Structure 1
Amino acid sequence: MARKIGSRYTAHQILGRGSAGTVWLGEGPEGPVAIKLLREDLASDQELVGRFVQERTALLGLDHARVVAVRDLVVDGDDLALVMDLVRGTDLRTRLDRERRLAPAAAVSIVADVADALAAAHAAGIVHRDVKPENILLDMEGPLGPGGAHPALLTDFGVAKLIDTPGRTKSTRVIGTPDYVAPEIVEGLPPRAAVDIYALATVLYELLAGFTPFGGGHPGAVLRRHVTETVVPLPGIPDELWQLIVQCLAKAPASRLRASELAARLHDLLPLVAGMPPLDVDEPDAEPAAEAYEDDPYPTLPNAPRRTAVPLVPGSSTDSNRDTHTSMRVPAPDELSGGPRGTARAPRPAGGRRPGSARHRSEAVRKRRITLGIAALALVAAAGVGGYLATGGDDPGAPPQDSEQSSPSQPW
């Protein structure tokens, strides 16, 4: 059923649905268009509508061959819509669902196209904030590139920023998709251009491996992995490509490449990966059931040999970016580790429990009780011996002194 969108556009049929709204196939004065109609609760938010209008000039001015152009922004009654170019094709997620992983040449070609799009956006002062396969469209009418890849275009610019209005999102809420969220977003820093580079490197890893480097399981555990774990190597790809991925997945935003640098490096790597078949990579171990997270929303996952934890203690990590990253955090390190505010997290002793953990505290209480018990026995024994001496006993020994008795208890 046709639906009027403003005075110039008509929406004919639904093409897809997302978290922010519904995409329609529409018609405008210049021909077919795609119309993203935002959710009704967003359209009723006057603050968001004002922000929407403020973003209009920047979004309409973003013109690049690898960007799905925004033609118009419509505010009409309860309707809040972005009118965009219609791309005849599918999104990258659909291709991944069908093929699981791509040949390296196709993966590099697609990501190079998206990096070109981000370079133009960043130059215009626009951060996408939600780069993921669902927001990368493949133009099936365009010429085939390396590895049989169709031209890739990046869409949904500005949507994440529009939704992330003050008062609408809580301070603890993370805007974005957990698998692709940069560590600095998890830790409360404002999103800069580097968050798009991190997300795009995650997409490249996923295209090659068939899974994201830190994804799987409970969303809270996924977010923590972005901050605390190193990326697992992918066997079978050129070292130059792997080093590129590692650099763009750096914990410190300043260590990542800029979009223009990433695009240039990827284009240069295309001859190196030409003709390579898709990688044969084992899937990560299955995650525990949801019930396993009821007591700890950010658990340390057991039986995960494919991932290597990075301590949050500066100086104890093999990750060269960790010190820089922790110095930039907004929340203190103890807020992520669960310790009291204003205290540093001590390294875990080899073979021991982390100080401050529930099990460590129970062990400390048990040891303290044993110590007090021994001290009490010693006092009883001392009293017995003292009474014996006072009544004329012939034992010349002095009462035993318990060093544990006078020492202060540990501040657990």
Structure 2
Amino acid sequence: MARKIGSRYTAHQILGRGSAGTVWLGEGPEGPVAIKLLREDLASDQELVGRFVQERTALLGLEHPNVVSVRDLVVDGNDLALVMDLVRGTDLRTRLDRERRLAPEAAVAIVADVADGLAAAHAAGVVHRDVKPENVLLDMQGPLGPGRSHPALLTDFGIAKLIDSPKRTRATKIIGTPDYLAPEIVEGLPPRAAVDIYALATVLYELLAGFTPFGGGHPGAVLRRHVTERVAPLPGIPDELWQLIVQCLAKGPASRLRASELGSRLRELLPLLAGMPPLDVDEPDAEPDEETPDEPSARPAAPAGEQVRRRGAVPLVPGARPADSNRDTHTSMRVPGPDELAGGARGTARVPRTAGAPRPGSARHRATTRRRRVVLGTAAAVLLAAAGIGTWAATSGDDAGASPKDSKNSAPASP
């Protein structure tokens, strides 16, 4: 059902829903557009509306082939909307859900596109703050690039900053998507351009592996890993690419590359990756901070028929319905204290492994180890029993074959 958005635009049908609002296919004076209509609870916040208007100049001035341009901002009654270029395609999360992981050449080509878009934004003084697969659109009508990848465009610039108002997030709060948050954000520092580089390197790792390097479990555990744990190596990728990922996932922001450098370095690696198949690795098993069969959780069991959510999803606004995954929602939560962060270090995070091999320390690894111990213990008992029977048989045979003379001669001498 069509609805008017301001005086110039008409929204015809819903294209998708996100944590901040609903995206509609719309029509404007210059043709088809995408209209992101923010949630009503956000539109009713006068402080946020004021910030929305203040950001108008920065958002409208950001133009780049790898950025979804914002054409207009609409403030009309209860409607708060961004009018954007319409991209005919899908988002990167949809492709990742379908294929689980991408071939290295395609993954690097997509991330290089996004890095170029970030470089333009950073040069204009704009930090995205929420780089993740959901916010990367693939233009299916654009020319195919390396690895048969479609052009990638970064969208939703300014959304995280708009939502992150002082009234919503005090100094003791952080806002973002846990899997992609840079350590300095977790520690309560203001977000700079380097947080986007960290998030984009996390996306690249996820495209290659099929899972994020520090994700899994309760959001608090994810935040702790970002600060305390080293990224686990990915088997099967060239060392040059791995070193690039490690540098961009450095705990210190100053150690990371700039967006323009990252884009250039990734494109230099494309010939090296041509023809490589997707990696064959398994996602790490549940960590001790997750629920496992051997370590039952104190949480009440989910009602019958309700799916258990393995990754926590915390709604931005109290009372709002959380999204299906914490990757698809801005999470507002308390900044962990220094003692909490220091107490969580466990070395290397969630080590990937060759497909089919259990991760050391995982529930499956512990179960396998217990089974091996049971088998070895049983075998040892059988061997000991067999040895005892053999000894008894040998002793019995000697006694049965001994002559009275031998018995007499073997008797102890009388004192």
Q: TM-score, normalised by structure 2?
A: 0.71
Alpha-carbon deviations, 1:54-100, whole Å to 9, x = none? 10001000010000000000000110000000000000000000000
Question: Is residue 277 from structure 1 mapped to residue 280 from structure 2 by the alignment?
Answer: no
SS of residue in 2 equivalent to 1:65: coil
Q: Quick one: distance in 1 between partners of 2:174 and 2:90?
A: 27
Aligned residue runs from structure 1 range 31-180, under 5 A: 31-180=31-180
Name the residue aligned to 1:336: 341
Note the alpha carbon deviations across 1:177-206, whole angstroms, 9 max, x for none.
110000000000000000000000000000
C-alpha change, 1:159 and 1:293, in structure 2 (3 Å) is farther
Structure 2 counterpart of 1:334, which letter? D
The CA distance in 2 between the partners of 1:10 and 1:169, in whole Å, is 33
What corresponds to 1:26 in structure 2?
A: 26
Unaligned ranges ≥5, structure 2:
300-334, 346-415
The answer as to whether partners of 1:218 and 1:293 remain within 8 angstroms in 2 is no
* CA displacement 1:329-364 (0-9 Å, x = unmatched): x9873363479xxxxx9xxxxxxxxxxxxxxxxxxx
Q: Cα distance, 1:282 vs. partner?
A: 1.7
Report the 3-state secondary structure (helix = DSSP H, G, I; strand = E; otherwise coil) of the residue aligned with 2:195.
Answer: helix
* Residue 169 of structure 1, CA deviation: 2.1
CA distance in 2, matches of 1:24, 1:218: 32
- CA distances 1:364-409 after superposition (whole Å, capped 9, x unpaired): xxxxxxxxxxxxxxxxxxxxxxxxxxxxxxxxxxxxxxxxxxxxxx
SS at match of 1:230: coil
Classify the secondary structure of the residue corresponding to 1:157: coil
For 2:338 and 2:134, the matched residues in 1 are separated by 33
Map Cα deviations across residues 11-66 of structure 1 (whole Å, 9 max, x no partner): 00110001100000000000000000001111111111110001000100001000
SS at match of 1:260: helix
3-state DSSP of counterpart to 2:173:
coil
Match of 1:289 in 2: 291
Structure 1 residues 336 and 293, CA gap change in structure 2 (3 angstroms): farther
SS in 2 for 1:231: coil
Letter in 1 for 2:267: H
Shift of 1:252: 0.3
Judged with a 3 Å threshold, the aligned counterparts in structure 2 of structure 1 residues 146 and 225 are, in CA distance, closer, same or farther, namely same
Partner residue of 1:258?
A: 258
Alpha-carbon spacing, 1:133–1:166, altered in 2? closer, same or farther (3 Å): same
Give, in whole Å, the separation in 1 of the partners of 2:264 and 2:96: 24
Following TM superposition, by how much is the alpha carbon of 1:289 offset from its aligned partner in structure 2, in angstroms? Answer: 1.9
2:56 aligned counterpart, secondary structure: helix
* Aligned-partner residue type, residue 25 of structure 1: L
Note if contact 1:73-1:81 (Cα within 8 Å) is conserved in structure 2: yes
The code of the aligned residue for 2:93 comes to R
Residues in 2 aligned to 1:32 and 1:336: alpha-carbon distance in whole angstroms: 48
Secondary structure at the counterpart of residue 215 of structure 1 = coil
Match of 2:5 in 1: 5
Alignment of 1:308-347 (within 5 A): 333-334=338-339, 336-337=341-342
SS of 1:174's partner is: strand
- Count of residues in correspondence between the two structures: 306
User: For residues 247 and 134 of structure 2, what CA distance do their matches in structure 1 show?
Assistant: 24
- Counterpart of 2:105 in structure 1: which amino acid? A
Q: Is the 8 A contact 1:115 1:260 kept in 2?
A: yes
Tell me if the contact between 1:136 and 1:152 (Cα under 8 Å) persists in the aligned partners: yes
Task: Report deviation, 1:278.
Answer: 0.4
- Equivalent position amino acid for 2:206 in 1: E
TM-score by length of 1: 0.72
CA RMSD of aligned residues (A): 1.9
Q: Secondary structure at the match of 1:277?
A: coil
Partners in 1 of 2:244 and 2:195 — Cα distance? 16
CA distance in 2 between partners of 1:57 and 1:39 (Å): 22
Q: CA deviation at 1:286?
A: 2.4
What is the CA-CA distance between 1:292 and the residue it aligns to?
Answer: 3.6
Q: Following the alignment from structure 2 to structure 1, what is the Cα–Cα distance between the partners of residues 342 and 255?
A: 24
Aligned equivalents of 1:120 and 1:73: distance in 2? 21
- Give, in whole Å, the separation in 2 of the partners of 1:205 and 1:331: 25
Runs of 5+ unmatched residues, structure 1: 295-329, 340-344, 346-412
Paired residues of 1:107 and 1:208 also in contact (CA < 8 A): yes
Equivalent residues of 2:68, 2:154 under 8 A apart:
yes
SS of match in other structure, 2:98: helix
Cα distance per residue 1:218-238 (max 9 Å; x no partner): 111111100011000011111
TM superposition shift of 1:217: 1.1
Q: Answer whether contact 2:74 2:80 (CA < 8 A) is retained.
A: yes
2:186 alignment counterpart: 186
User: Deviation of residue 148 (structure 1)?
Assistant: 1.0
The aligned amino acid for 1:111 is V
In 2, are the aligned partners of 1:128 and 1:160 still within 8 Å (CA)? Answer: yes
Between the aligned partners of 2:19 and 2:204, the Cα distance in structure 1 is 23
The offset of 1:174, in angstroms, is 2.1
The residue matched to 2:245 in structure 1 has which SS? Answer: helix
1:367-386 counterparts in 2 under 5 A? Answer: none
CA distance in 2, matches of 1:270, 1:151: 15
Identity of aligned residues (%): 87
Report the CA distance between 1:128 and its aligned residue.
0.2
How big is the shift at 1:283? 1.4
Separation in 2, partners of 1:157, 1:138: 16
Aligned to 2:413: none
Q: Post-superposition shift, 1:293? A: 7.3
3-state SS, counterpart of residue 116 of structure 1? helix
Q: Secondary structure at the match of 2:251?
A: coil
Q: Partners in 2 of 1:331 and 1:134 — Cα distance?
A: 26
Structure 2 residue aligned with 1:209: 209
Q: Which has the higher contact order (CA 8 A, sep 6+)?
A: 2
